[in-house]
Structure 1
Amino acid sequence: MKYEMNLNKMLLFAKILPLSASFTNKAVTLRLLPQLLLID
């Protein structure tokens, strides 16, 4: 269950990242991504 939730979050970010044209937004998102994956 936990793995599926993490997988869904990764798929969501995979869709969001290409839409983010700003390098700063990408850097912030990539920095927050590991933290979000650790949160249940």
Structure 2
Amino acid sequence: GWTETLEYEADLQGVAGRTADHAEGLRAFLEKRSPDFTGE
């Protein structure tokens, strides 16, 4: 149901927030440059 979907999304956002690509995206945004994603 809806509640389970939201919980699943929250879990995946936590995982995605700990990746090297996420950190690179934030750095690139703050430095106003294009990100160099590696798939990690």
The two structures have a TM-score, normalised by structure 2, of 0.50
Aligned length: 24
RMSD: 1.0
- Higher normalized contact order (CA 8 Å, seq sep 6+, divided by chain length): 1
Q: Which runs of 5+ in 2 are unaligned?
A: 30-40
Q: Which runs of 5+ in 1 are unaligned?
A: 25-40
- Quote the residue 2:2 is aligned against: 2
Report sequence identity in percent. Answer: 12
Equivalent residues in 2 for 1:1-40 (5 A)?
A: 1-19=1-19, 20-22=22-24, 23=26, 24=29
